[in-house]
Structure 1
Amino acid sequence: MDTGVPDLATLGRRIRHFRTEAGMTLDRLGADVGLAASQLSLIETGKREPRLSTLDAIAAALGVGMPDLLAKEAPNPRAALELELEKAQQSPIYAELGLPDFKPGRGTSDEQLKSVIGLHRELQRRAREAIATPEEARRANTELRELMRARNNYLPDIEDLAEERVRASGHVTGAVTHREVSVMAEQLGFKLIYVDDLPDSTRSITDLANGRIYLPPASIPGGHGLRSMALQAMAHRLLGHERPDSYAEFLWQRLQINYFAACCLMPQAASVEFLAAAKKEKRLAVEDFRDAFGVTHEAAALRMTNLATEHLDMTLHFLRVAGDGALLKGYENDGLPIPTDVTGSIEGQWVCKQWSARRAFDEQNRTTENYQYTDTPAGTFWCATQTGTTRDAQFSISLGVPFSQAKWFRGRETTVRAESRCPDPSCCRRPSDDLESRWAGNAWPSARLHAHVLSPLPTGLFPGVDDQTVYEFLEHHARQA
């Protein structure tokens, strides 16, 4: 907010400028305005705020008008440089370096000052670049989703790598066991250690110096199983990841490790064999795929998006939707009109209330999938939706296909049908005329503001991770070993 008055440092420099121009010492000016020279010095260095009556007296003693004294600009180019340097050295960015302040003297040239200030400007520029705003993160996430859509959500190199590591562990058939995951870690030179004091900002920590992967003693609510977390940690090493230098690269690495873990828990050859047989018998179901490999419903649905187009010759869509209708995660290559904002981002957009992803929350029986056909402006789609609950909220997982491909799925015989006209607001967002006339002007809801809307994304060597607690954790456990 522009207050129209200078900050204390600028005010102090202007007082000093006019005092030296008038040829007055601190003692002389102090005597004229009734202040000790030491008190006046604190005002000139910006360390004390003067009263208005004191400023009146100073202006009168120096023979300048109050507007000149209170101007927001530095009194001269040299003072502007010194003020900029002073403010830069007070910033948290510079304080984190632990370096002493540079105090220019009379012998410091303007060019020397400009060089030091140039370094500070570059330091601040790089710090600003390192902070990913929500807009930057959404853009990076959108670009990544479009990249995966162009690849049909399929990464063959990681598929091959995962298949190789699973075979090397001795796995033959069925769900990959905890023991086989431990063998995979040992083959990479790591030991899995389960501890109950992992820092809150981490899922796992890899001790590269001592060959250990620290994991929590139990799965994290929301579907992050211990096998998956261990495999994700190993993936960083197998894929040769370096410290990400941008938020986009961080998201890409996270996608890769999640993809690798899914490939190991649901190996390509066995998964394709299972899904192809189910398709042939026209009984494809996320539930069966989930149970066959001992994974979460969401993991099974996402894995089907990796394999369906490449190996089953079908397009499809996946949605994870919050209980309030906000889209948390989505993928489609079947033409489903997923809502987007003007940037193309889908996260946080409300899905149509007529879609099964929303209507499933109203079902009494949530232990099985809910099936539904939905007529949309882009055609008719069939969906299977399962609801779930985390520690904080409820959500739904939907996997669907165009009408012509519903014949391969169990639940295709459902008679549940809905019509969605979204994005036409008359579909489910515009109130009826009766409600509009009754409540327009008589309602004032207090909107819930999510903190992440205004907050920059966390920084650090790895976004969102508290480096100090991680290093303290590693030091503690290294001493105990």
Structure 2
Amino acid sequence: MADERDTPDLLTLGRRIRHLRTQRGLTLDALGEKVGSAPSLLSLVENGRREPRLTLLRSIAEALDVGLGDLLADEAPDRRAALEIALERAQRGPLFAELGLPAVKPSQKLPMPVLEQLVGLHRELERKAEEAIATPEEARRANTDLRLERQARRNHYPEIERVAQELVLRAGYAGTGAVTHRTVARMAEDLGFRVLHVTDLPRSARTVTDLRHGRIYLPQASIPGGHGLRSLALQAIAHRVLGHTRPRSYAEFLRQRVEITYFAAACLAPERSAVDFLQARKREKDLAVEDFRDAFGITHEAAAMRLTNLATVHLGIPLHFLRVGDDGALFRGYADDGMPFPQDVTGAIEGQLVCRRWAARAAFERRDRATEYYQYTDTPAGTFWDSVQTGTRGTDSAGAAVGFGAGAFSITVGVPYAHAKWFRGRDTTERRVSTCPDPACCQRPPADLARRWADDAWPSARIHQQVLAALPSGAFPGVDDAEVYAFLERHAPQDDDA
């Protein structure tokens, strides 16, 4: 292995040579004569733009009457040199390049206070840029804080419920059944927006809102009806209705996502109508996610999540919700009934593997997945009843799963044993026992198999890349601003003079 001194820090090396040269009262020309090199080359070396050969370094050390180690030391020769190096590095970085500003040469003529101020400003820019990048750990902590907050309030936001109820009624909702596309369009019009469907929506955005011209751009429906488009339009409207400003942190971005999703659900299954429907089914002891879904024309996952908003507060039923991939990874979860979700050391549940014996994973064992699967599960926290629906989503043109939570997944709504009496499917005979987080439950292989294969198995692990990568930065993480602005420019009215 090559010695680290074979690849010195060029800026520090250059500043040390300059410092020693000026200390000895030598000009570049004079030093060039001593070492037999052109002053222009020495200038490049001193500015950290050329790596000198070892023979030249030895000649410079001899001319300056110092050891080679003095030239190659890691630290700057003095405070000014350290500041000059810091300024040079900052101005060569991508953050400075994005500003489009001219560089300031850190020469000896630059006053010390100005040099200190410039370096301080660059360090603050870097600090703020680093704050804007949410690492997976930071994102998990922010998500965990939000989940615990939602749990404390039973996942019910009465202020959003009131706003949603008022807007849908004002837009002509009859008070029962599904909210139509026309009703959603009227809601947008009432707020000064026109909903438009386009084929060239930026790939990084689910919707784009043109605040200047009052337009909400949505993708075209991929299937007849396009019920998911109502939710997308309502989420775009929600930012204006709820008074959101551009998020200043990833935690604020996540909070806004929770709020707009809640608003859309509260519009598509308005609280008054939804509660009347659910209370009637509870009296009949025939609560079912699929009926709730069909009554309001929403997805199974949206219906399951909407139950978490309403069941505890209005029906007195504590419950839990899970979305789990076919690999057993928990993509999204909520519980106010004591369901023992797996957690990491930060308290985050996302990405954790749920027990193989839970209904959320047992449902994948069935060949017929068209109907809901029901199961009782005995856990260390008590017995729970679950209703599970499986589905497939999120594949690319080649059929490969894309992203965390893509491919086959299951949606679970469950309750403690005592509350199963209100639900259809309570008479199931399916029952399993889970002792997780005890490794002997489903994580540890049988002893005979372990003895046979422990020394001979070498699998290649599949990991989710987002576990390692920093999350996208920017006011709207993951959105390509250049792509969005170009899109808006293409679709702006031709008579726009702005």
Question: TM-score normalised by the shorter chain: which range applies?
Answer: over 0.9
SS of 2:492's equivalent in the other structure is helix
Q: How does 1:130-209 map to 2 (within 5 A)?
A: 130-172=132-174, 173-209=176-212
Instruction: State the partner residue of 1:332.
Output: 335
| Alignment match of 1:465 (pick from 465, 471, 479) | 479
Superposition deviation, residue 19 in structure 1: 2.2
Structure 2 equivalent of residue 64 of structure 1: 66
Tell me which residue corresponds to 1:376.
379
Name the TM-score, length of structure 2 as normaliser.
0.93
Structure 1 residue runs of 4 or more that deviate by more than 4 Å after TM superposition = 1-5
Instruction: Tell me the residue number matched to 2:351.
Output: 348
Per-residue CA deviations over 1:154-173 (Å, capped at 9, x if unaligned) read 01111111111111111112
Tell me the percent identity.
Answer: 63
Any conservation in 1 of the 2:87–2:106 contact (CA below 8 Å)?
no
> Residue 190 of structure 2 aligns to which amino acid in structure 1?
Q
Deviates more, 1:118-127 or 1:17-26: 17-26
- How far off its partner does 1:12 sit? 1.2
**Which residue of the partner structure matches residue 124 of structure 1?**
126
Output the amino acid matched with 1:69.
L
1:52-451 correspondence runs (5 A)? 52-172=54-174, 173-218=176-221, 225-392=228-395, 393-451=407-465
Shift of 1:107: 3.5
Aligned partner of residue 175 in structure 1, secondary structure:
coil
Query: Are the aligned partners of 2:355 and 2:436 in contact in 1 as well (CA < 8 Å)?
Result: yes
Which residue identity lines up with residue 205 of structure 2 in the other structure?
Answer: T
After the TM superposition, which of the residue ranges 115-124 and 177-186 deviates more from structure 2? 115-124
In the alignment, the residues of structure 1 paired with residue 149 and residue 4 of structure 2 have an alpha-carbon distance, to the nearest angstrom, of: 44
Deviation at 1:301, TM superposition (A): 0.5
Equivalents in 2 of 1:106, 1:136: separation in Å? 42
Alpha-carbon displacement from aligned partner over 1:183-240 (angstroms, at most 9, x marks no partner): 11111111110001111111111111111110000259xx981000001111111111
Partner-residue secondary structure (3-state), 1:398: strand
Q: CA, structure 1 residues 23+224, in 2 after alignment: closer, same or farther (shift >3 Å)?
A: farther
- Given that residues 174 and 292 in structure 1 are in contact (C-alpha distance below 8 angstroms), is that contact kept between their aligned partners in structure 2? yes
Match of 2:401 in 1: none
Shift of 1:29: 2.5
Equivalent pair of 1:154/1:307 in contact (CA under 8 Å): yes
| 105 and 44 in structure 1: CA distance in 2 versus 1, 3 angstrom threshold | closer
Partners in 2 of 1:388 and 1:241 — Cα distance? 33
CA drift of 1:22 comes to: 2.9
Residues 23-57 of structure 1: CA distance to partner in whole angstroms, max 9, x if unpaired?
33323322333322212221121111111122122
SS across alignment from 1:87:
helix
User: How far, CA to CA, are the matches of 2:416 and 2:329 in structure 1?
Assistant: 22
Deviation at 1:480, TM superposition (A): 4.8
Relative to 1, partners in 2 of residues 1:219 and 1:459: Cα closer, same or farther, differing over 3 Å? farther
Superposed displacement of residue 297, structure 1: 0.5
Q: Structure 1: any 5+ residue segments left out of the alignment?
A: none
Matches of 1:297 and 1:372, distance apart in 2? 18
For 1:417 and 1:289, locate their aligned partners in 2 and report how far apart those are by CA, in whole Å. Answer: 25
Between 1:395-404 and 1:97-106, the stretch displaced more is: 97-106
RMSD between superposed Cα atoms in Å: 1.7
5+ residue gaps, structure 2, are 396-406
Q: CA deviation at 1:310?
A: 0.8
Q: TM-score of the superposition, structure 1-length normalised?
A: 0.96
The answer to whether the 8 Å contact 1:219/1:225 transfers is no
Count of residues in Structure 1 that have an aligned counterpart in Structure 2: 479
Shift of 1:365: 0.7
Q: Distance in 1 between matches of 2:5 and 2:428?
A: 65
Q: Name the CA shift for 1:219/1:276 in 2 (closer, same or farther; >3 Å).
A: farther
For 1:274, the aligned partner's letter is F
Q: Deviations over 1:98-120 (max 9, x none)?
A: 11112244343322211221111
